[in-house]
Amino acid sequence: MDLLKDILEHINFIGAVALFVIGLYTVVTHSNLIKRILGINIMGTAIFFFFIAVGNVLEGAPPLIDPEGSSEVVFINPLPSVLILTGIVVVVSITVYSLSLVVRIYETYGTIDQKEIAAIQKGEDYSD
Amino acid sequence: MIEQLPIVNLLLLLLTALVIPLFKKKNFKFTLSLNFTVLLIVWVISVYLLYYVNTEGAFYYRFGNYHPMIGLELLIDPFSTLITFFIMTMVLLIFVYSTSDATDGIHQKEYDRYYILMFILLFSMYGIIYTNDLFNKYVFMEILSITTCSIISIKRKKQNYSAAFRYVMLNEIGSLSYLFGVALLYMVTGFTNIEMVGQSLETVWQTHPTNIVLAIGFMIVGIGLKAAIFPFHIWLPDAHASAPSSSSAILSAVVVKVYLMVFVKILFRVYGIDILSALNIPTMIMIIGAVGVIMGSFFAIAQNDVKRMLGYSSVAQIGYIVIGIGLASYLGLSVAIFHVFSHGMMKTVLFLSVGAVIYQRNTRLINAFEGVGYLMPITMGAFFIAALGMIGIPLTSGFISKFNLGLASFEGGSSPYIFILIASGILNAIYYLPIIIAAFLRDNPEKQTVLSKDKVPALMLAPIVIISIFIVGIGVFPNGLMTLIEYAVSTFEV
Question: What are the residue boundaries of the structural domains of chain A, listed by start?
Answer: 2-59+75-123
Cβ contact (<8 Å) for B186 and A51? yes
Q: Which residues of B touch A105 (CB under 8 A)?
A: 161-162, 165
Q: Which residue of B has its CA nearest to A42?
A: B176
| Separation between Cα atoms, residue A8 and residue A11, nearest integer Å | 5
B11 pLDDT higher than 90 = yes
Q: Which residue of B has its CA nearest to A116?
A: B162
A128 pLDDT higher than 60 = no
Residue from A47, A99, A121 whose CB has the most chain B CBs within 10 Å, to mutate: A47
Q: What is the pTM assigned to this prediction?
A: 0.93
Cβ contact (<8 Å) for A27 and B173? yes
pLDDT band at A70 (very low <50, low <70, confident <90, very high): low
Cβ contact (<8 Å) for A105 and B162? yes
Which residues neighbour B306 within 8 Å (Cβ) at sequence distance 6 or greater?
A: B354, B357, B364, B365, B366, B369, B435
Half-sphere exposure of A25 (CA within 13 A, CB side): 6
Chain A: nearest CA to B146, how far in angstroms?
7
Interface of B with A (CB under 8 A): 70, 105, 135, 138-139, 142, 145-146, 149-150, 153, 158-159, 161-162, 164-165, 168-169, 172-173, 176, 179-180, 183, 186-187, 192, 242, 305, 358, 362-364
Cβ contact (<8 Å) for A86 and B162? no
Q: Which residues of B touch A115 (CB under 8 A)?
A: none
pLDDT at site B138: 93
Of B153, B172, B179, which is closest to A94 when you measure between CB atoms? B172
B301 pLDDT higher than 70 = yes
pLDDT tens digits for range B116-175 = 999 999 999 999 999 999 999 999 999 999 999 998 888 888 888 988 999 999 999 999
Of B149, B150, B176, which is closest to A44 when you measure between CB atoms? B176
**What is the domain partition of chain B in residue ranges?**
280-494
Task: Name the architecture of domain A2-59+75-123.
Answer: Orthogonal Bundle (1.10)
pLDDT tens digits for range B302-342 = 888 888 899 999 999 999 999 999 988 899 899 999 999 99
pLDDT at site B25: 67
B445 pLDDT higher than 60 = yes
Region A28-52 average pLDDT:
92
pLDDT tens digits for range B373-432 = 888 888 889 999 999 998 888 888 889 998 999 888 888 877 788 888 888 889 999 988
Q: Which residues of A touch B162 (CB under 8 A)?
A: 105, 109, 117, 121
Region B465-483 average pLDDT:
91
A57 pLDDT higher than 60 = yes
Chain B: nearest CA to A62, how far in angstroms?
18
pLDDT tens digits for range B197-250 = 988 988 888 888 888 999 999 999 999 999 989 888 888 888 888 888 888 899
pLDDT band at B71 (very low <50, low <70, confident <90, very high): confident
Cβ contact (<8 Å) for B150 and A104? no
| ipTM exceeding the 0.85 mark | yes
Q: Which residue of A has its CA nearest to B162?
A: A105
pLDDT at site B89: 93
Of B139, B159, B183, which is closest to A50 when you measure between CB atoms? B183
pLDDT tens digits for range B92-112 = 999 998 887 655 667 777 788
pLDDT at site B218: 93
